[in-house]
Amino acid sequence: MIKAIVTGHSKGLGAALAADLLERGAQVLGIARASGQSAEGPSAGLTELSLDLADSAALAFWLAGDTLRDWLADAATVLLINNAGTVQPVGPLAVQDPAEVGRAVAVNVAAPLMLAAAVVQAMPAGAACRIVHVSSGAGRNAYPGWSVYCATKAALDLHASAAAQDDNANLRIVSLAPGVIDTDMQGQIRATPIAHFPLRQRFDALKQSGELAAPPRVARQLLDFMLSKDFGRDPVADLRQLKAVRK
Ligand code: NAP
């Protein structure tokens, strides 16, 4: 039985990941503020936790209970996809709201790192654990106006690189850049004043030329990779640069 935890399953890439995992027969625990249930009614196999991942104390409180351990008890394979993320605050330091900086670091860094540790500790003995941090090219290149986003995604890359060196034969972990995807986050980027994000026109052009990938296609590629033999060989990867994956 595959049990998958997907953060930010309410929309965008996370919603596509949850839908694809359910189609593959996995049980999914989705964590976001909003629900990821479709208008047609509850999805069989989807359990939801409504939580603001910017609230690290609330996440720590939930992780200190037994719910996660109980939910994972019958899993042979545990997948954790740390997908929830925010690109805000965008702009130079002079306009960043310090409180918003703190919330972004909590969502983009604290929550993935807390969940990774908690899942490894809660999974049943002998189960295999595969973790993806959804990173970004912005964690590997500096962009003006994206200092918080770049820094938080770079943190995920180094976390995966270090955790991959743990003495744990049951763990594989990859920080994965997914490419540019047609989601609300891209809409937010296009709505940013150029004064705050000088590279915005590059993202306007990607939308206009149809170069943003559809979330279901990225989700399928990501999951094919995550379930493949090659997963975990390199702890930092880019979905656009992967060769065909070995099943
Ligand atoms: P999106 O459409 O904005 O969706 C973001 C998801 O994260 C939502 O489900 C949202 O759920 C959740 N989330 C955000 N803040 C949260 C909070 N405080 N607590 C709980 N959940 C929260 O973004 P996306 O484009 O699908 O992005 C998914 C991931 O891909 C992110 O990590 C992003 O950095 C990365 N990425 C995206 C692109 C791109 O081109 N779109 C490129 C590279 C990397 P709620 O609002 O319901 O809480």
pLDDT digits over 32-84, tens only? 999 998 777 778 999 999 999 999 999 999 999 999 999 999 999 999 999 99
Q: What is the model's pLDDT at position 135? A: 98
Q: What sign results for the dihedral spanned by CA atoms 224, 230, 236, 238?
A: negative
- Catalytic (active-site) positions: 149
Residue 140, SS3 per DSSP: coil
The mean pLDDT value of the chain amounts to: 97
- Which residue, by CA, sits nearest to atom 21 of ligand 1? 32
Percentage of the residues of the chain whose pLDDT score is greater than 90: 95
Q: What does the DSSP assignment read for 104-134?
A: HHIIIIIHHHHHHHHHHHHSPTT-EEEEEEE
How close is the Cα of 206 to the center of ligand 1, in Å?
Answer: 19
For the segment 5-22, the average pLDDT, to the nearest whole number, is: 98
How close is the Cα of 183 to the center of ligand 1, in Å?
Answer: 9
Strands (E), 33-127: 46-50, 77-82
Token reading at 112:
């993935």
At residue 5, does pLDDT exceed 90? Answer: yes
Give this prediction's pTM: 0.98
Q: Hey, what domains does the chain have and what are their CATH numbers?
A: 2-180+214-241 (3.40.50.720)
Give residue-wise pLDDT tens across range 165-201: 999 999 999 999 999 999 999 999 999 999 999 999 9
CA distance 130 to 62: 21
CB-count burial class (<10 Å; 0-12, 13-18, 19+) for 247: exposed
How close is the Cα of 77 to the center of ligand 1, in Å?
Answer: 24
Residue 81, SS3 per DSSP: strand
- Which residue, by CA, sits nearest to atom 33 of ligand 1? 85
pLDDT band at 150 (very low <50, low <70, confident <90, very high): very high
Determine the length of the chain: 247
How many C-alpha atoms does 155 have within 13 Å on its Cβ side?
Answer: 18
How close is the Cα of 216 to the center of ligand 1, in Å?
Answer: 15
Other C-beta atoms closer than 10 Å to the C-beta of 198 total 14
Q: Ligand 1, residues 35, 181, 199, 239: which to mutate, most atoms within 8 A of Cβ?
A: 181
Q: What is the model's pLDDT at position 241? A: 94
Q: Which residues are near ligand 1 (CB < 6 Å)?
A: 8, 10-14, 32-34, 52-54, 83-86, 107, 134, 136, 178, 180-181, 183-186
At residue 155, does pLDDT exceed 90? Answer: yes
